[in-house]
Amino acid sequence: MGLFNKIKNMFKSYDEEEEEVVEEETIEEEPEEEEQEEVVDDEEKEEISPEPVEEKEEEPLEEKKSTEIVEEVKEKPKKKGLFKKKDKKEEEKKSVKIYEKGLTKSRQGFVSKLANLTNKYNKVTEEYFEELEEILIMADIGVNTVMDFMDRLRDRVKSENIEDPELLKEIIVDELFIIYVNDEVLSNKINYNENDISVILFIGVNGVGKTTTIAKIANKLKDEGKKVLLVGADTFRAGAVEQLREWSERVGVGFYGKEESDPSSVVYDGITKAKEEDYDVVLIDTAGRLQNKVNLMKELEKMNKVIDSLVEGGASETLLVLDATTGQNGISQAEAFKEITNITGIVLTKLDGTAKGGIVLAIKESVGIPVKYIGLGETKDDLQTFDIEKYIYGLFKDLM
């Protein structure tokens, strides 16, 4: 099965499941009474063991049978494991909705152009190809990626003898993203230090969303039960340290920072504090003055030296923050930063503000560094771990 259909099957059902979820939520609210625990345990064993309780995903079961199972499950007291599964599914659903919402502009921009193209041409012609190519290039998908893609598409159209543009919708989505999806190197996983404090360094030019991203990530980590310290090493721009301090208060995490001092010494003091006070994760905000590359390189080198000297294995991640609305400019920033320091991941902010959601592919093409987080709006939930499948769904759901 192609990517298009796989993703469609994964997420499209969420729209139709709403009703059932309401019921499950009420069940969830039932108190976990202590006296009942024993009884529950016994019943569980009986109820849970006979069949897998994955309702609708496991389609192969006969229709009648699967309905029975679903009903049975609804009536029974719930097992902890089942709760977790539901919670996780709810989280997934919520996340898919955030992707959908955040990518609305792109969907209405470049993806609707794709849909129109299919309506405009009733046959796949050279003009069709040319128009398609233009749409993709306008969507911030890198030029080389588009060229490779067009070659592959043309080949497939020829070899499979495709004439109807309607049939190409699926193939377009599949072929556009297949490289990204097949490339295992591009893991979205954030690395944490197993043996010591995890230090995450945030770099990127002014205004891309570093400080707010740090606040959002701090909030997530705090929810996961981690003790988080924000370190304000953007000592260059007036007010930047103070802004981070305010965020630390709002989120309810620790803070260390000092204006008008050497960023490396702030990093030193910050990590020392984190060690003394038993923090788990340190998020460091830096100033990204790309105007002076040599200085910036030296500054980052110095910071890394400090981190290396204090933390086993050094920084766990160096995340470059890019603003999706800046298109090619953002790509140039990534290339420049890549020359001066080792970047382990990209945070792509403000995807909600662009109608050209193809930039993820351009990043892959030009920089080859995995996108780990994306910003889909201004609230804390709008920062999401990057998931290529949800991303594709958010962009193309109207075609699915």
CA distance 286 to 111: 36
Q: Which does 314 bind (CB under 5 to 8 A by kind): Mg ion, ligand GDP, none?
A: none
The type of residue at 264 is S
Encoded tokens for 25: 């939520």
- Measured from the CB atom, the residue of 86 and 97 that comes closer to ligand GDP is 97
Rule CB under 6 A: choose which of 5, 377, 380, 400 binds ligand GDP.
377
Asked if residue 331 lies in contact with residue 219, where contact means CB atoms within 8 angstroms, the answer is no
352 binds ligand GDP (CB under 6 A): yes
Binding mask 227-266 toward Mg ion (x if CB under 5 A, else -) reads -------------x--------------------------
How far from chain centre, in Å, is Cα 191? 15
How far from chain centre, in Å, is Cα 18? 24
Residue 88, CA distances (Å) to 84, 109, 158, 309, 360 in order:
6, 32, 43, 39, 26
Output the smallest distance, CB 338 to Mg ion, in A: 21
Stretch that binds ligand GDP, among 14-22, 174-182, 290-298, 347-355 (CB under 6 A): 347-355
Q: Which does 355 bind (CB under 5 to 8 A by kind): ligand GDP, Mg ion, none?
A: none
Q: Enumerate residues 6+ apart whose C-beta is below 8 A from 277.
A: 229, 254
207 binds ligand GDP (CB under 6 A): yes
210 binds ligand GDP (CB under 6 A): yes
Output the smallest distance, CB 382 to Mg ion, in A: 17
- Phi, then psi, of 2 in degrees rounded to 5: -75, 170
Dmax over CA atoms of the chain, in Å, equals 73
353 binds ligand GDP (CB under 6 A): yes
Rule CB under 6 A: choose which of 108, 116, 144, 206 binds ligand GDP.
206
* # binding residues, ligand GDP (CB under 6 A): 18
- Measured from the CB atom, the residue of 122 and 206 that comes closer to ligand GDP is 206
CA distance 155 to 147: 12
Residue 65, CA distances (Å) to 47, 79, 226 in order:
15, 21, 44
Output the smallest distance, CB 206 to ligand GDP, in A: 5
Asked if residue 358 lies in contact with residue 139, where contact means CB atoms within 8 angstroms, the answer is yes
**Interaction with ligand GDP in 310-339: which residues (CB under 6 A)?**
321
> Each residue of 291-304: b (16+ CB within 10 Å) or e?
eeeeebeebbebbb
**Interaction with ligand GDP in 211-270: which residues (CB under 6 A)?**
211-212
Instruction: List the helix and strand counts (H, then E) for the chain.
Output: 17, 8
Rule CB under 5 A: choose which of 211, 304, 349, 366 binds Mg ion.
211
Stretch that binds ligand GDP, among 80-88, 143-151, 346-354, 362-370 (CB under 6 A): 346-354
Give 373's strand partners: 347, 385
Stretch that binds ligand GDP, among 120-128, 178-186, 359-367, 371-379 (CB under 6 A): 371-379
CA distance 347 to 204: 10
Q: Give the DSSP H/E element, type plus range, for residue 373.
A: strand 371-375
Output the smallest distance, CB 342 to ligand GDP, in A: 20
Output the smallest distance, CB 298 to Mg ion, in A: 21
Rule CB under 6 A: choose which of 375, 384, 388, 393 binds ligand GDP.
375
Residues contributing to the site for ligand GDP (CB under 6 A): 204, 206-212, 321, 349-350, 352-353, 375-378, 382
